[in-house]
Structure 1
Amino acid sequence: MSENKKIAKDLLEGVGGTENVKSVTHCATRMRFIVYDEEKIDKEKVENLDKVKGAFFNSGQYQVIFGTGTVNRVYEEVEKFEVNSVSKEEQKEEAAQQGNKLQRAIRTLGDVFVPIIPVLVATGLFMGLRGLVMQDQILALFGLTEADISNNFLLFTEILTDTAFVFLPALVAWSTFRVFGGTPIIGIVLGLMLVSPVLPNAWGVAEGADPLMFFGFIPVVGYQGSVLPAFFAGIIGAKLEKFIRKRVPEALDLILTPFLTLLIMIVAALFVIGPIFHVVEEFILQGTIAVLGLPFGLAGLLLGFFHQVIVITGVHHIFNLLEIQLLENFGNNPFNPIITAATAAQGGATLAVAMKTKSAKLKALAFPSSLSAFLGITEPAIFGVNLRYVKPFFMGLIGGAVGGFAASIMGLAGTGMAITVIPGTLLYLDGQILQYLLVNVIAIGVAFALTWMFGFSDKELKETK
């Protein structure tokens, strides 16, 4: 029997047997089970399996962390035992019925924004690269100055850095229609209508241009870079489309459903939803700026400490909205270096455990988990090591607070979002790279030192067992 097949067999026994598995799927790092009876799970057995880096319940799912690559191979063996394997979307629908209203709302927000994040990551990298090549020192290497750069080249870079934000409402409306059961292409068109070139440009209005005034009191503008108007228009639009589809004759569905949906929704979006949620968005932005503007580095201290606690609760996707707003309005993201510090610190704490323990099994778990954290993914480190022994997690929180404090004091702000620590260096090529590396060294160093001195010994390993 192959190693992965044995792990799959023992894993299924640990979750109560195939008869206790309602459904199973996997993501990039975790196997996700929905079970009939939680009491039948032998959690200690599951967590002590080879290659398992941690296991926990979240969002109605029993999630077993294997890490990238490994999870695919083990899942292939699990499928051979004839369990009810389903797609991530199907299990998501099933899990969505579980948890309280806040958890379900935050999970839905994540489902909408997570598919959009890759293009925003790419946009941030383009911004960072443009900042790098436009630095005087870099241009001087080629005997150039900024005056030598052609306007056509600058226009080309604007295509790379501006497109995702100009058409952000189309991306948001598409994803929202998809999540709420509407037709995604209708969502795209609705979102594009919100940024139609016949409307006054949102950035132009912000700089003093006049909006269109309907009925003498409703300001109508384009919503370039906005999130909430498209998000709520997408929710209402998807539900409206389903409502209409149930009531029109099948022969007319292809014509009437998209026609009525778009007609009703663009009127509602431009005259009601847009103006209202544009104001709400502005309040959220101002609140975010106020928090980040707290004196003496308090924003970095607080966010750096609590960010990974929020990650455990699963509601950290709420930060996506705030980061998008910061990037769209200011072209930079002061959240990113603080979150980076929190992430790097957990990796530093895990690395200390790996180097201090004499347990070969724990070393084999902790070393790759710390590397994963340094690449921006903390789940293996948190659930596999730090939370299991408690103190390393707390030392990681302290390291994150100190690193976040340093980031706030230095005024660091990335050119993008969603990548941190080592990959995140690409967001700081515009002259901030040394400060960014210093913040990471501080966060990792503090967490490592505290864990080494006070946070772990093999005595804790025996007590946990």
Structure 2
Amino acid sequence: MSNYTQPAKELLEHVGGSENISVVTHCATRMRFVLNDPKKADVEKIEALKLVKGTFTQAGQFQVIIGNEVSSFYNEFIKMAGVNDTSKDQAKEAAKQNMNLLQRMIAHLADIFTPLIPAIVVGGLILGFRNIIGDIKMFEDGTKTLVEISQFWAGTHAFLWLIGEAIFHFLPVGITWAVARKMGATPILGIVLGITLVSPQLLNAYGVAGATEVPFWDFGFAKIDMIGYQAQVIPAILAGLLLSYLELKLRKIVPNAISMIVVPFFALVPTVLIAHTVLGPIGWQIGSFISDVVYSGLTSAFGWLFAAIFGFAYAPLVITGLHHMTNAIDLQLMSELGGTNLWPMIALSNIAQGSAVLAMIYINRKNEEEKQVSIPAAISCYLGVTEPAMFGINLKYGFPFLAAMIGSLVAGVISVGSNVMANSIGVGGLPGILSIQPQHMLTFAIAMIAAVVIPFILTVVFAKTGVAKVSFKRK
């Protein structure tokens, strides 16, 4: 008998049995259930299982934190439950039956941007490194940069822009691919559509403001400006959605014998035309408006208030899944301003959650069983993965979660009050400082210290005094 046989049997019983499981899959640390009746899951009994580190519900899925052994446990569980192995995409689709309209919209947005995040993180690190060697005057009495005194680093600086440009300037290609993939359209058509938005034939989006003359296509009866949409997010999303809509509709009405020829042509050509005449200009205006509102809010006289609210509320947003909206806003800020002052607060919130767990490790330092959960959770949190810390420790006790929210509030105010900007989305924890623009690194480091110290102290104080011992756990 496997070491997981009994825990698997008990978990199956407490989730309501096989008949209550619509879909089950797993990720790196969690079992993900789509339950026919979520109310049948006995959360208290599930969390009492020795193997379980915590539970939460997100995006229509009931998730059980197991840890690094989740893969082996999952294999034993599905054999006992008599359910088939399921892909994550199937699980996400099944989970939508438990979502409201807003949750579905957020889930779609997350599915679009999640595949792009690894590239964006790499791009942010590259831009940060280029700024350090190319912009900071550290040599010859503070008069020259590393690039100016070394041909090797000058070559490195130029070479790395090849990757940075590919990631950020040509971001619409990734977005239209991701939209097409998400909607069930043909991904290569999404890629082609994206390329038509950033083609070298077009006037670069960054050069539009200073251009004396805008090139155009002349059709005799009409002229269309040849403007590119480099780094633009919303035009790419709108174009990708239109392409997917046309392709999926055409598939239903075009006979199979000619669909290979007709569908791609009549989906792609009209989409490219409409993208450059309608969707592109409208999307650009919408994106500019959003970025202007967010940036103005963060840099206004009341920016500290915005920062305080966002810093305090970001962790609860993670619980609901609404935090996925920030990816689109960050990318829009980057395209308009060359950086984002929103993302640094996200990194600080993650650090604060890890610091609250660190305090719980200190408080429960004699509890060997809990340290098996808390130590890995703190490490992963400091590296940008907050779920094990939040759901395994902080929400379980309540007061560490509140302490982290307060620490995040203070750190966010420091960051925004000092106009800290990041090059892009990065690793959302301690390594996040590598994505911060060089001139703001010192101030961000101070904000990081606040995000470490304040939650730690508050968690210890709350534990010793009994203050704020409330439960944030979602039933």
Same fold flag (TM > 0.5): yes
**Distance (whole Å) between structure 2 residues aligned to residue 129 and residue 139 of structure 1:** 20
Residue 145 of structure 1 deviates from its aligned partner by 5.3
The one of 299, 321, 325 equivalent to 1:318 is 325
Check whether the contact 1:304–1:342 (CA below 8 A) recurs between aligned residues: yes
Q: Which string of whole-angstrom CA distances, capped at 9 and with x for unpartnered residues, describes residues 255-296 of structure 1? A: 111111111111111111111111111101101111221336
Residues 421 and 440 in structure 1, CA contact (< 8 A), matched pair in contact too: no
Could you tell me which residue of structure 2 aligns to residue 307 of structure 1?
314
Q: d(CA) in 1 for partners of 2:468 and 2:207?
A: 60
Letter in 1 for 2:91: Q
Match of residue 345, structure 1, among 332, 352, 359? 352
Counterpart selection for 1:412 from 420, 442, 457:
420
Aligned to 1:62, the other structure's residue is in SS state: strand
Taking the TM superposition and a 5 Å limit, the aligned residue runs for 1:109-124 are: 109-124=109-124
Alpha carbons of structure 1 residues 456 and 88: separation in structure 2 relative to 1, 3 Å:
farther
| 2:362 alignment partner in structure 1 | 355
Alignment pair present for 1:184 and 2:183: no
- SS, match of residue 422 in structure 2: coil
Using the alignment, how far apart are the partners of 1:70 and 1:41 within structure 2? 22
Secondary structure in 2 aligned to 1:381?
Answer: helix
Per-residue displacement from partner, 1:356-413 (whole Å, max 9, x unpaired)? 1354433332232222211111112211222222222111110100111121233322
Question: In the alignment, is residue 393 of structure 1 matched against residue 401 of structure 2?
Answer: yes
Superposition map of 1:236-247 within 5 A:
236-247=242-253
Q: CA deviation at 1:304?
A: 1.1
Q: Which moved more, 1:426-435 or 1:106-115?
A: 426-435
1:29·1:65 contact (CA, 8 Å) conserved in 2?
A: yes
Residue 78 (1) aligns with residue 45 (2) = no
Equivalent position amino acid for 1:136 in 2: K
Counterparts of 2:331 and 2:379, CA distance in 1: 27
CA 1:198/1:215 → structure 2, altered by over 3 Å: closer, same or farther? farther
In structure 1, stretches of 5+ residues that fail to align are none
| C-alpha contact (below 8 Å) 1:186/1:262 kept by paired residues | yes
- Contact 1:302–1:401 (8 Å) recurs in 2: yes
Q: C-alpha offsets along residues 224-257 of structure 1, whole Å, 9 cap, x if unaligned?
A: 1111111111112112101112222222111111
Give runs of aligned pairs for residues 435-446 of structure 1, distance below 5 A: 435-446=443-454
1:265 paired to 2:265 = no
Q: Write out aligned runs for 1:197-346 (5 A).
A: 197-212=200-215, 219-295=225-301, 297-346=304-353
Whole-angstrom distance in 2 between the partners of 1:207 and 1:254: 43
Deviation at 1:6, TM superposition (A): 3.4
Inter-partner Cα distance in structure 1 for 2:319 and 2:48:
21
Deviation at 1:171?
0.7
Match in the other structure for 1:60:
60
Aligned pair in 2 of structure 1 residues 66, 297: CA closer, same or farther (>3 Å)?
same
Offset at 1:163?
A: 1.3
Report the Cα offset of residue 109 of structure 1.
Answer: 0.4
Cα distance in structure 2, aligned partners of 1:24 and 1:418:
31
In the alignment, the residues of structure 1 paired with residue 21 and residue 140 of structure 2 have an alpha-carbon distance, to the nearest angstrom, of 60
Q: What amino acid sits opposite 1:340 in the alignment?
A: A
Change (3 A) 1:388 1:147: closer
Instruction: Work out the CA distance in 1 between the residues paired with 2:440 and 2:75.
Output: 44
Structure-2 change in CA distance of 1:209 and 1:108 (3 Å):
farther
Q: After superposition, give the CA deviation of every residue in 1:85-129 in whole Å (9 maximum; x if it has no partner).
A: 310111111112331111110110000011011111111111122
Where do 1:101-180 residues align within 5 Å?
Answer: 101-134=101-134, 135-137=136-138, 146-148=147-149, 153-180=156-183
Distance (whole Å) between structure 2 residues aligned to residue 255 and residue 148 of structure 1: 57
Q: What's the offset of the Cα at 1:154?
A: 4.2
- Maintained 8 Å contact 1:391/1:456: no
Change in CA separation of 1:345 and 1:29 when aligned onto 2, cut-off 3 Å: same
Q: Secondary structure at the match of 2:421?
A: coil
Amino acid at match of 1:430: P
CA contact under 8 A between 2:125 and 2:426: conserved in structure 1?
no
Instruction: Compute the RMSD of aligned alpha carbons.
Output: 2.8
Q: TM-score, normalised by structure 2?
A: 0.90
CA apart distance, 1:194: 1.1
Tell whether the 8 Å contact from 1:132 to 1:431 is kept in structure 2 after alignment: no
Deviation, 1:455, is: 4.3
**In structure 1, what is the Cα distance between the partners aligned to 2:198 and 2:446?**
41
Q: Is the 8 A contact 2:47 2:55 kept in 1?
A: yes
8 Å CA contact retained: 1:129, 1:429: no
Contact preservation (8 Å) 1:376, 1:420: yes
Aligned to 2:15: 15
Hey, what's the Cα distance between the residues in 2 that align with 1:110 and 1:55?
21
Q: State the Cα deviation string for residues 176-228 of structure 1 (Å, max 9, x = none).
A: 01111101101110111111222211111033343346967865511111111
Closer/same/farther in 2, CA of residues 461 and 275 from structure 1, 3 Å limit: closer
Give the C-alpha shift of residue 40 in structure 1.
Answer: 2.6
Distance 1:223 1:9 in 2: 54
CA distance in 2, matches of 1:40, 1:147: 66
> Structure 1 length normalisation: TM-score?
0.91
Distance 1:301 1:12, change over 3 A: same
Question: Would you say the 8 A contact 1:59–1:95 is kept in 2?
Answer: yes
CA pair 261-463 structure 1, distance change in 2 beyond 3 A: closer
How far is the alpha carbon of 1:27 from its aligned partner?
A: 2.0
In 2: Cα distance, 1:46 partner to 1:200 partner: 58
